[in-house]
Structure 1
Amino acid sequence: MVQSKQTIGFIGIGVMGKSMAKNLMTAGYPVQVFTRTKEKARSLIEEGATWSESVAELAREVDVIITMVGYPNDVESIYFGGDGILENAKKKSYVVDMTTSKPSLAEKIGRDAAQQGLFSLDAPVSGGDVGAQNGKLSIMVGGDVQVYQELLPIFKVMGSNIIHQGKSGAGQHTKLCNQITIASNMIGVCEAIVYAKKAGLDPEKVLESITTGAAGSWSLSNLAPRMIEGDFAPGFFVKHFIKDMRLALESANEMDLLTPGLALSLELYTELAEQGDEDSGTQALVKLFNK
C-alpha cells in the first residue's frame, strides 16, 4: 500500500506538471523532479523539491514515478533504453504515465514494466491549467485495479474525478474520447462568440445565459471568457491539442470509425498553428473566426 511519505519522482514540469508536482509537495509527499530544462523546475526546487540530474538517477531513488511530458516519442525516450525508467526503477516501484499518448504505447509500457517487476498505470488527465492548479483534474486510469487502488491517495491530491477505466491503455482511449468531444465543441464555442459579437450582443451576457443551459460545457465556461478578453495564454497548448487529435484520428481510423468533427477541428487547429499560434492556448482558435 502506498504511504503518504513515499518519495514521488515527477518528470515533466510544464504548464500542468508544475502545479501537479506542487500539490503533491503541499500534501506532504517528498518530490524529486527532472525536466530537460532545469529552469522550469526552479520554483519547485526553491520550495523544497529535490533535483535529479537524469531520468535514470530519479528512477533509482524514488518509489513512485509520474511522467507528464509532451509527445509519445518523449514517453518512449524516457521509459525505454539503458537510461530509461524501466531499466532503472527499483523493483516493486510504481510508474504512472499521465501524458496523453498512444494506447498501444501504454500497453507496451504495462507489459515491459511487469517483466521488470514494476507496477504500471496510464493515467492521462483533463482540466487544463486551472484544474491542475486547484487539484481538480479528471484522471482516467488504465491498468491493474489493485495498483489503481494503491495509488488512489496520490491521485486524489491531483484530481477530483478519478475513474479506473480498465486494463492498460484504457486510460489513454478514454482521454482520446475526451479530446474528440472537445474538438467539435471548440468550433461551436468560437462560432457562438463571434456570432454574438456580429449580432451586436454583449458576449459576456450571452455566456451568462447559455453556460447553464443545454449548451453548457467546460470549454464554454472556462475558455470562452478568455476568447472575449483576448487572452490566449496557454492553459493547454495548441501544438499539444493537435498531437492529441492526431492520436485520436489515427486510433479511430484503425477502428474504421467516421469522425468528421475531429477531422475538421484538426484541420482548423493545424491552420492556426501554421499562422504562428502553436504555443498559444487552445482558445486562440477564435482568431480564425474573427477574420
Structure 2
Amino acid sequence: MSKQAREKTVAFVGLGQMGGPMAENLLKKGHAVVVYDIDKRKVSRFVELGAQAATGPADAARQACVLISMVDTTAQMEEVIAGPDGFIQAAQAGDVVISMSTIDLMALRRLHPKLMQKGVELLDSPVTGMEKGAKEGVLNAYVGGDAAALEKVRPVLASMATKITHFGAIGQGLAMKLINNMLFQVNRVLIMEGLALGAKAGLDPQQMFETISGTTGNSVAFQYSAPRILNREFDGIRMDITFKDVELQTQLAKSLGMPMFMANTALQVYQMARAKGLGNKDAVSAIQMYEEWTSVPVEARKK
C-alpha cells in the first residue's frame, strides 16, 4: 500500500453492537476502511460493503494511519492496541490510535507512553447515544488526549458523532463517559425498585409510567427503562456490559480514594441478575428479581 493511500485509510477493530454501525457510517461518509473482528462473518459483511479485511490489528495498522479500537473490555483493548498482534506492532510515527470503548482509564493511560515512544498519539473517545445513535451517526464523542491529535482525526470522528467534546488529558473523556453512564445505570435500579414497589402497593404500572412521564421523577433513563419493563423487551444493552461499566466506575472511585455508595449498591443488583443467568439480556431484565421478591408482576393491568 502506498503512503498516500495509507494516510487516507481508517482501521476499525470491533464490529459489535456499537462498532458495526459506526464503521458502516465511516464507509457511508466516503472513508477508506480496513476492518477486523474475531467474528469472521462480520468482517465478510463489511467486505461486501466495500471495506478491506485485515488479518488482525497489526495488519490493520499496516494499512491505515487512524486506528480505532471499539471492543468490549479493558483486556480486549490492551490486546488490540498493545498485544503481540496489536496496533503498536505496525503503527508508524504520526499515526493516531483512538480507543472508543468504555474501559479502565488507568489502563489506557499506562499504554500512552508506550505508543508515544513510537511517535504514535493515543486518544480516548468513548461515545454516548446507544445503538440508535450509532446507526444514525449522531453519537456524542467524549475525547481525552492531545488537542492537535484530535484535530487531525476530527473528520473521522465527525463521520460517527455529531458532537465532539474535548475534556483534557488522556483518560478525561473516559472519566466523563463513566460518570454519565453511572447516572443512567444507577437510576435504572431505582426505576425498577419504584415500579416494583408501586405494583406491590396495587398501582397499575402503566398508569405509573404515564404519570411519572409528566413529573419530576421523569428522566431519559426512565423513558428508556419503563417501556421495556412493561412490554417485557429484554433485548438491548447487555447486563454484562452494564456490570462492566459500573465496576469501572467503582474502581475509578477506589483509585482516587473516594467513597461510592449508590454505584456499589447498583453493582450488586446487576451481579445478582447476572448470577440468575441474565447477563446477555438488557439490564432492565433485573426487574424479574423484584417480581420474585414481591410476587407481583410489573406489567399493565388488564382492563
Matched residue, 2:261: 260
Q: Does 2:245 align with 1:244? A: yes
Show the counterpart of 1:17.
19
Give the TM-score, by structure 1 length: 0.91
Deviation of 1:277 (Å): 0.9
> One-letter code of the match for 1:283?
V
Kept after mapping to 2: 8 A contact 1:7/1:31: yes
Please list the CA deviations of residues 46-101 of structure 1 after superposition, one character each: whole Å capped at 9, or x if unmatched.
22221111111101101211111111111111211442111211321111001111
> Quick one: distance in 2 between partners of 1:241 and 1:125?
15
Task: Give, as a single letter, the amino acid of the residue that structure 2 aligns with 1:284.
Answer: S
How far apart, in 1, do the equivalents of 2:181 and 2:43 lie? 28
Q: What is the count of residue pairs matched by the alignment? A: 287
Cα pair distance change 1:205/1:162, threshold 3 Å: farther
| Contact persistence 2:56–2:86 (CA under 8 A) | no
Change (3 A) 1:218 1:61: same
Q: Secondary structure at the match of 1:287?
A: helix
Q: Which residue of 1 aligns with 2:192?
A: 190
1:177 is the counterpart of 2:179: yes
The 5-angstrom pairing of residues 25-44 of structure 1 reads 25-44=27-46
Instruction: Give the superposition deviation at 1:274.
Output: 0.9
Structure 1, unaligned runs of 5 or more: none
Equivalent pair of 2:69/2:81 in contact (CA under 8 Å) = no
Alignment pair present for 1:134 and 2:136:
yes
Structure 2 residue matching 1:276: 3-state secondary structure? coil
Structure 1 counterpart of 2:298: none
Structure 1 residues 78 and 249, CA, compared in 2 at 3 Å: closer, same or farther? Answer: same
Residue identity matched to 1:105 = A
| SS across alignment from 1:83 | coil
Work out the CA distance in 2 between the residues paired with 1:182 and 1:21.
Answer: 26
Query: What letter corresponds to residue 221 of structure 2 in structure 1?
Result: S
1:217 is displaced (CA, Å) by 2.4
Give the drift of 1:42: 3.4
Contact 1:141-1:164 within 8 A present in 2 as well? yes
- Which segment drifts farther, 16-25 or 220-229? 220-229
The equivalences for 1:67-78 within 5 A come to 67-78=69-80
Larger Rg: 2
Question: 145, 148, 160: which one pairs with 1:146?
Answer: 148
Residues 13-62 of structure 1 show CA distances to partners (whole Å, capped at 9, x for unaligned) of 11111111111111111111101111133332222221111111101101
Q: Is the 8 A contact 1:156 1:162 kept in 2?
A: yes
What is the distance in 1 between the residues matched to 2:34 and 2:69? 12
Q: Cα RMSD over matched residues?
A: 2.1
Structure 2 residue matching 1:174: 3-state secondary structure = helix
Secondary structure, in 3 states, of the residue corresponding to 2:31?
coil
Query: For residues 65-214 of structure 1, what are the structure 2 equivalents within 5 Å?
Result: 65-198=67-200, 203-211=205-213, 213-214=215-216
Alpha-carbon offset, residue 198 of structure 1? 4.3
Q: Which whole-Å CA distance do the structure 1 matches of 2:90 and 2:65 have between them?
A: 12
Gaps of 5+ in 2: 293-303
2:119 aligned counterpart, secondary structure: coil
Q: Deviations over 1:101-160 (max 9, x none)?
A: 111122123222221111210111222212211222222110011212222222222223
Closer, same or farther: CA 146–222 of 1 in aligned 2, 3 Å: same
149 and 210 in structure 1: CA distance in 2 versus 1, 3 angstrom threshold: farther
Give, in whole Å, the separation in 1 of the partners of 2:277 and 2:56: 32
Q: Deviations over 1:193-252 (max 9, x none)?
A: 334544555544543443354333222122321221111112x22112211211211111
Distance, in Å, in 1 between the alignment partners of 2:79 and 2:48 is 28
CA pair 202-137 structure 1, distance change in 2 beyond 3 A:
farther
Identical aligned residues as a percent: 28
Q: Which amino acid aligns with 1:136?
A: V
- The corresponding residue for 1:273 is 274
Equivalent position amino acid for 2:287 in 1? V
Higher mean Cα deviation, 175-184 or 121-130?
175-184
Aligned counterpart, 1:289 = 290
SS at match of 1:163: strand
TM-score (norm 2): 0.87
